[in-house]
Amino acid sequence: MTKLRQETIDTFKGQFGGPLFEPGDAGYDQARQIWNAMIDRKPALIAQCQSAEDVVAAVNFGRDQSMLVSVKGGGHNIAGNAVCDDGLMIDLSQMKDVEVDVEKQRAYVGPGCTLADFDAAAQMHGLATPLGINSTTGVAGLTLGGGFGWLSRKFGMTVDNLISADMVTANGRQTHASATENPDLFWGTRGGGGNFGIVTRFQFQLHPVGPELLSGLMVFPFGQALSVLTQFARFTETMPDELNVWLVIRHAPPLPFLPESVHGEPIVALAICYAGDPEVGEKLIAPLRSFGDAHGEHVGVQPYANWQQAFDPLLVDGARNYWKSHNFVKLTDDVIRVALEYGDKLPSPHCEIFIASIGGETGRVAHDAMAYSSRDANYVMNVHGRWETPEEDEHCRQWARAFFEAAKPYASGGAYINFLSHDETDRVEFAYGAAYKRLVEVKQKYDPENLFRVNQNIRPDNGAAVGPRARRS
């Protein structure tokens, strides 16, 4: 364990406005807990920030004490990068302010906000920006890795809607990044995964959305998966930008619109969201019902904020999670074959395969406009291993890895860094593709000692692979 002198900690307390937690303190274990139960790391000190000034103080302390530093926003990252062992965890989870400028259609969002926090504030005015699909996800981590969800085909990636960011860089300075101010830092922040500093406030473009949209689920037997996947692949190639349809293979949860006999059985489901006139949407989704003989469906007009929370019960804290992911330009017959093969041997009732349709507006941005560069990715497949006990670890991870390897020959370049697990550091350069060289240059300028390295790390070109070592005193 990193041992800090008590006088050093006491001095820091005098400079810091929020609580500090050491091992054994009340509140320490709660603060270090994150979504993925496979991650059980124990920081030497947790600094729970209340303001941008607290973030400055924490960054300066971690740097000056040569500590390993991690940054927690929503704590939802699959790799568990919010928490480090024996170092300083900078906890932003209490910085949850959201300010909406209705006239300018802008939102100013704190780094501790979840999607639910952001959606609630924006939807009070019938506004939204593209976010993810699980309302407990942190806005900060989602955004810094790219971000996509139900509205992305219409309005782009989350980073496409980021207008500016207030940040604290590794030298402890508060910095503003936008297209006109520190544009290189802004370029890297839009997809660079927190490598260049800690964002203390995001400014997003908002769009008129809802507050009610056509959305819901159609659930088919897994025995009809070949028909459903094949038709899904072709349908999604030509659907309008306002429509988004995702596909999920899993065991049926106990949904009230499904017969009890279906609960726990393997299924293939279509998840639907239409960001337009519901009557038009109903006509557009009518062909989906012919993909098979459905067990049941629950599709209708409901609040967008409710749909954003629809999958929360399947993604609660406390389960063990391991993901593998690929991007695809097209869902070929080979991709479908692999998905069917591994969908037929799900190793846990909680495991699933989901195929997200993006494309649309996300593909109309130049690939070098920002750090997120995978603009040819029309689909993102996530092999979501999820289970309850350590005894299942090896079996479930091997299933996910085997699926990943089988699908690799048909995948496109790049990868979505928010879906990279803790053991995929070798894929970081591949994930960024042609953007990686420029990202290294930005890293060298803003974080040459690699202080911010507990992430999908971009190493500065001075060879600082691990940055300053934790002081042991």
Measure Cα distances from 172 to 53, 91, 444, 451 in Å: 10, 16, 16, 11
Q: Which of 346-371 are b and which e, b meaning 16 or more Cβ less than 10 Å from the residue's Cβ?
A: bbbebbbbbbbbbbbbbbebeeeebb
DSSP 35: S
Task: Round to whole Å and give the CA distance between 131 and 150.
Answer: 8
Beta-ladder partners of 272:
216, 245
pLDDT at 472 over 90: no
How large is the C-alpha radius of gyration of the chain?
22
- Residue-level pLDDT at 461: 85
Q: Where in the chain is the domain with CATH 3.30.465.10?
A: 98-208
- Residue-level pLDDT at 413: 87
pLDDT at 395 over 60: yes
Q: Which of 29-55 are b and which e, b meaning 16 or more Cβ less than 10 Å from the residue's Cβ?
A: eebbbbbbbbbebbbbbbbbbeebebb
pLDDT at 1 over 60: no
pLDDT at 51 over 80: yes
Structural tokens at position 189 = 């922040």
- Residue-level pLDDT at 463: 58
The string of pLDDT tens digits covering residues 30-46 is 999 999 999 999 999 99
Burial of 329 (0-12, 13-18, 19+ CB in 10 A): middle
Q: Which band of pLDDT confidence, cut at 50, 70 and 90, is reported for residue 304?
A: very high
Express as a percent the part of the chain with pLDDT over 90. 93
Q: Which band of pLDDT confidence, cut at 50, 70 and 90, is reported for residue 376?
A: very high
With CA atoms as reference, report the closest residue to 236 among 207, 273, 187, 196.
273
pLDDT at 465 over 60: no
Query: Stretch 243-253: mean pLDDT, rounded?
Result: 97
- Report residue 273: phi and psi, to 5°: -145, 130
Express as a percent the part of the chain with pLDDT over 70. 97
- Report residue 163: phi and psi, to 5°: -95, -35
pLDDT at 471 over 70: no
Q: Which band of pLDDT confidence, cut at 50, 70 and 90, is reported for residue 3?
A: confident
The string of pLDDT tens digits covering residues 422-456 is 999 899 999 999 999 999 999 999 999 999 999 99
SS3 sequence, 218-275?
EEEEHHHHHHHHHHHHHHHHHCCCCEEEEEEEEECCCCCCCCHHHCCCEEEEEEEEEC
Task: Round to whole Å and give the CA distance between 327 and 148.
Answer: 13
With CA atoms as reference, report the closest residue to 177 among 158, 151, 203.
203
- Maximum distance among all alpha carbons in the chain? 70
Q: Which of 83-104 are b and which e, b meaning 16 or more Cβ less than 10 Å from the residue's Cβ?
A: bbbbbbbbbbbbbbebebeeee
DSSP 471: P
pLDDT at 76 over 60: yes
Query: Stretch 39-58: mean pLDDT, rounded?
Result: 97
- Residue-level pLDDT at 464: 62
Cβ atoms of residues 356 and 382 within 8 Å: yes
pLDDT at 12 over 60: yes
Strands (E) across 255-401 are located at 266-274, 296-303, 320-328, 352-357, 379-387
Task: Round to whole Å and give the CA distance between 56 and 76.
Answer: 23
Q: Tell me: domain 212-426, CATH 3.40.462.20, correct?
A: yes
- Residue-level pLDDT at 469: 39
With CA atoms as reference, report the closest residue to 349 among 457, 265, 289.
265
With CA atoms as reference, report the closest residue to 204 among 105, 96, 103, 133.
105
Q: How is domain 6-91 classified at the CATH fold level?
A: 3.30.43
Structural tokens at position 293 = 């003989």
Q: Where in the chain is the domain with CATH 3.40.462.20?
A: 212-426
pLDDT at 462 over 90: no
pLDDT at 65 over 60: yes
The string of pLDDT tens digits covering residues 261-280 is 999 999 999 999 999 999 99
- Residue-level pLDDT at 56: 97
The string of pLDDT tens digits covering residues 331-349 is 999 999 999 999 999 999 9
pLDDT at 128 over 80: yes
Q: Which CATH class is domain 98-208?
A: alpha beta
The string of pLDDT tens digits covering residues 151-184 is 999 999 999 999 999 999 999 999 999 999 999 9
| H or E element that contains 106 | strand 106-109
With CA atoms as reference, report the closest residue to 354 among 325, 331, 382, 327.
382
Task: Round to whole Å and give the CA distance between 47 and 89.
Answer: 6
pLDDT at 98 over 60: yes
Angle at 442 (CA atoms; ends 436, 445), nearest 5 degrees: 145
- Residue-level pLDDT at 447: 97
Query: Stretch 317-324: mean pLDDT, rounded?
Result: 94
Q: What is the pTM of this model?
A: 0.94
Cβ atoms of residues 304 and 212 within 8 Å: yes
